[in-house]
Amino acid sequence: MSTAPTPASELRERRLGSLSRRLATQAGLATAGMVIGASLLVSIFTAIHQYTTVSANALSTAQLVLDTLSPGGPTSATVQAVKHDVLRSDPQVWIYRNGQVVLQSTNTGSRVPTGARNGISLADGFPYVRVDLTHQNLAVVLDYPLASAISLVEDLLLGIATIGLAAAVGGGAFGYVAARRMLKPVEALTEAAMELRRSPAGAKLPELSDPQDEIGRLGRVLNNLISDLDLQRQRDRMLLAEAAHQLRTPLQIMQGNAALLAEGTLDAQEAQESLSAMQQALAGMTGLTNDLLTLESARTRRPEPEPLALGPWLEGLREDAQALAPQLKVTLLPPSAQTVRVDVQILTRAYWALLENALHYTPAGGRVTLGASLLPDAVEIYVRDTGPGIDKDELPFVTERFFRGRHGRGMKGTGLGLPIAKALAESLQATLALRSAPGSGTTATIRLPRDA
């Protein structure tokens, strides 16, 4: 048994509805919580006020009864007060003389206080506040009822429950409506984003909200991301097309020479020449492939910084460069920067790309100089050559992939040396700067931040 797939729009509606419900629930709970919290505070203060009022009334009532007593015990005024409802409420009253009960109100039944103490009791179905007043050998013990106060607090608690439920429902309904209203631009943004899959390149998301609110800023961020991705795709397509163009010639050379060798009509010298041409074409293809892999690793590899002593490191590179180009004079200026914290492997590959470029373009008898300078906020590691220099109109483009200036046309190489150096430097949060002029050589500098 198979089921039809759920439409994408329905899935989006479910997700949006689920979020709306969650927001509505949270709004309802928050509203109810605030209302209940405020009501509980009111109830607490009301209960305290009621207890204080009852305690004051109990004390004044006990004092009223005590004032009617004579040294010999209860008087007619006392009896009138206790037994004939002269009191301002319905307390239970006991009068003691020398520790013995000599008079008690009719509502006490057979109950006699077991001790004279002040306090509150909620037992026996008769919650009360007890007051104990004594004068000479006489005492008045009074249990003042709390029923009215407790009834008021119970009514408040019932009201709190009712108000809290109403607040939860009302807050949830308001939150749901507000959530649906606020999420409407998100739904539209989602629909527009899905439409981009069928839109031409360069299409953007429309502004569906206030540009200054969170959704508006999200739309701008997504548009910037789309622009960056479009630019990267264009660059990747150009790189792929240029790489295919660069590989076409060596592949044709290898194909043609392989066909000649397969025919078996070449003499030994001609066969050797064909093999040499194929080896040169293969070497060029290998170099181009390695350079492309280096460019890709520069985008994806995460640097692993470690301390690097610049003096010995630069001296080792100088020796390698001198051995590679004995026709040049490769020198090292004492670096003013001693150490830097950086990914050594990435920095070495970036710097060597600059050094190879300088060795490649400097004519025999020229000079290539290595060095490093310490600045207040950066460390600069540079390569300076005495080559032909770069024209001013070409300088902004020499770090583009496969670009060849006037002096580079017809020379060996893939045209990826400076782009590789730039990409690797950027992976180190560094910058690559070039200073040059025709006839005065070129200085290439990797500028590393001091905390790198």
Spacing of C-alpha 105 from chain mean position: 74
Residue at token pair 């290439």: 444
Structure tokens at 447: 């500028």
Degrees to nearest 5, angle at CA 373 with 372 and 377: 130
What pLDDT score was predicted for residue 4? 47
What pLDDT score was predicted for residue 16? 47
196 Cβ partners below 8 Å, 6+ apart? 203, 205, 226
DSSP 68-125: H-BTTB--HHHHHHHHTT-SSS--EEEEEETTEEEEE-GGGTT---SS---EEE--TT
Going from the C-alpha of 155 to that of each of 121, 152, 166, the distances in angstroms are 20, 5, 16
By the 10 Å C-beta count (0-12 exposed, 13-18 middle, 19+ buried), 255 is classed as: exposed
First to last CA, the chain: 61
Residue at token pair 């910058």: 431
What pLDDT score was predicted for residue 368? 94
Alpha carbons 28 and 39: distance in angstroms, whole number: 16
Going from the C-alpha of 8 to that of each of 5, 11, 13, 140, 357, the distances in angstroms are 9, 5, 9, 83, 54
Structure tokens at 271: 């066969």
DSSP structural state of residue 389: -
Check if the beta carbon of residue 22 is closer than 8 Å to that of residue 176.
no
Question: What are 217-248's pLDDT values in tens digits?
Answer: 777 777 777 777 776 676 667 666 656 656 67
Dihedral of the alpha carbons of 62, 68, 72, 75, in degrees to the nearest 10: -120
Going from the C-alpha of 420 to that of each of 150, 298, 415, 432, 435, the distances in angstroms are 83, 8, 10, 11, 18
Question: What are 369-398's pLDDT values in tens digits?
Answer: 999 998 888 899 999 999 888 877 777 767
Spacing of C-alpha 25 from chain mean position: 25
What pLDDT score was predicted for residue 428? 83
Q: Other CB atoms closer than 10 Å to residue 346's CB: what's the count? A: 22
Q: In percent, how much of the chain has pLDDT > 70? A: 74
Check if the beta carbon of residue 160 is closer than 8 Å to that of residue 154.
no
DSSP structural state of residue 134: E
Strand arrangement of the beta sheet that strand 100-104 belongs to: 100-104, 92-97, 138-145, 128-135, 119-121
What pLDDT score was predicted for residue 369? 93
Alpha carbons 29 and 315: distance in angstroms, whole number: 70
Spacing of C-alpha 293 from chain mean position: 32
What pLDDT score was predicted for residue 371? 92
What pLDDT score was predicted for residue 401? 63
Alpha carbons 72 and 81: distance in angstroms, whole number: 17
What pLDDT score was predicted for residue 327? 93
CATH number of 214-296: 1.10.287
99 Cβ partners below 8 Å, 6+ apart? none
Check if the beta carbon of residue 89 is closer than 8 Å to that of residue 64.
no
- On the CB side of 348, CA atoms within 13 Å amount to 17
Tens digit of pLDDT at every position of the chain (452 positions)? 444 444 555 544 444 456 667 766 777 777 777 777 777 788 788 888 888 888 888 888 888 888 888 888 888 888 887 876 555 557 888 888 888 888 888 777 777 776 544 556 655 566 788 888 888 888 888 888 877 777 777 787 787 778 777 777 777 777 777 767 777 777 777 777 777 767 666 666 666 666 666 777 777 777 777 777 776 676 667 666 656 656 677 777 788 888 878 887 778 887 888 888 888 777 777 766 776 666 666 566 677 888 999 999 999 999 999 999 999 999 999 887 788 888 888 888 889 888 988 898 899 999 999 999 988 888 999 999 998 888 777 777 676 765 565 555 445 555 677 887 888 888 888 888 888 878 788 899 999 987 64
The ranges assigned to domains in the chain are 9-151, 214-296, 302-449
CATH number of 302-449: 3.30.565.10
